[in-house]
Amino acid sequence: MVSLESLIQILFWTVPLVLPRALSLYRALTSPAPAQRQPLPYLTRLTLALTTLSIIAYLALLTPPLTPPNIFTLTRSRLALPVNLLTSRLHTARHGALTPLDHALTNAFKSDPSPRPRLLYAAYGPSPIAHCPFCTSDSTRSYFFYAIPALLTPHLLHTALLGALTSPHLTGAAGRSLRAPAAVATAALCAADAVLAAAYDVDANATRRSLRDVDWFFWRARMWRLLAFAAVDAAFAIAVWGRAVGRWPGGEEPGGGLRELQALGYGLRDLYQRSAAVGPVRRVVVADRELRARSAAYWDQEPRVMEEVEREREVVDAKNRVLGTMDVERVRHNAEEYVERVLGDLRPSVEKSKDV
């Protein structure tokens, strides 16, 4: 269970880190969508939904029904309470229905009445005390070695989830660009968790008589581990979403510019092929007497039709309105630039032919 003191510590350390990023996210969400906004792919939506469910699951595991029971806090007993009295209080709290874990713990405390098993219980939780077949109170490291698999399993599952979130097969380029940071984040969390557990002083609670003063390291580390998982997953999910929809940079496919140039080249090739096909059609029209006559009749009639259209009142008014708002000098300047750009290289040869 998360106490008020722990909640205050969480807020003290997380608010200065989360608040600026939350404000930046709010501005990004409320700002007008850019022109390059992209629709969110189906697989990316599905992956983000699963990540959201995992974050909810991490937070749900912090609730008392899903937290490993602590028989000392459950019975409000101090750490040095005699085993018989602890068992009696446990019977009362469980209404006489002790669990197999309760029996294993009380038997372990009875077999070794020294404070050592209780100190190890506060440091590594109930499972090593109740189930470890090779652990002894004289060897603290044996309990730590037994606890390592249970310590690393959540990190492996978290790594698999972040791997799916940043998989290019599920989230495309947006996930691929975050794959290395995700690997670094999961490795850092795992290493920090293992180092803190290995460096923890089991005898830190030896002189703490009151239940309130006891440092329940196993439960405290579990709480921070789940909160870190939820925070990291939320950060990467937001980053993947922002890059997938085009709000934030970094979601472009590698080599995307080259592919765009290739697509443009293919388009120009198709346009050239279609333009080249006009030549044979033109030759067929000119060679056929009937088609040539139709073409000549069309071009003879086209100027008269256009002249009649331009004399209509609506067309004259529209031309006057356009000419009234047009910058003639700018149009002339743009036309000169176009002619210079297209025919500029031909002028030396034209002048040379005139001199000859």
Q: What pLDDT was estimated at residue 8?
A: 65
pLDDT tens track, the chain, 356 positions: 455 566 566 666 666 766 676 666 656 555 544 445 567 778 888 888 888 999 999 999 999 889 898 999 888 888 888 889 988 999 898 888 888 998 899 888 888 888 888 999 999 999 999 888 888 877 888 999 999 999 999 999 999 988 888 888 877 766 777 888 888 999 999 999 999 999 998 888 888 878 888 889 999 999 999 999 999 999 888 888 877 776 665 544 444 455 567 677 777 787 777 777 777 777 776 777 787 788 788 878 888 888 888 888 888 888 888 777 777 788 888 888 877 776 666 555 545 544 54
Q: What pLDDT was estimated at residue 32?
A: 45
Q: What pLDDT was estimated at residue 58?
A: 92
Q: Residue ranges per domain, the chain?
A: 38-244, 326-356
Cα–Cα dist 54/336, whole Å: 64
Distance in Å from the first CA to the final CA of the chain:
100
- Give the length of the chain: 356
| C-beta pairs of 197-203 under 8 Å, 24+ apart in sequence | 197/124, 197/144, 197/147, 197/151, 197/221, 198/144, 200/123, 202/119, 202/120, 202/123, 202/140, 203/119
What tokens appear for 127 in the block? Answer: 């499972």
Q: What pLDDT was estimated at residue 247?
A: 66
Residues facing residue 40 across a β-bridge: none
Residues facing residue 136 across a β-bridge: 139
Q: Are 120 and 137 in contact (CB under 8 A)?
A: yes
pTM above 0.75, yes or no: no
| DSSP 8-state assignment for residue 36 | T
| DSSP 8-state assignment for residue 202 | G
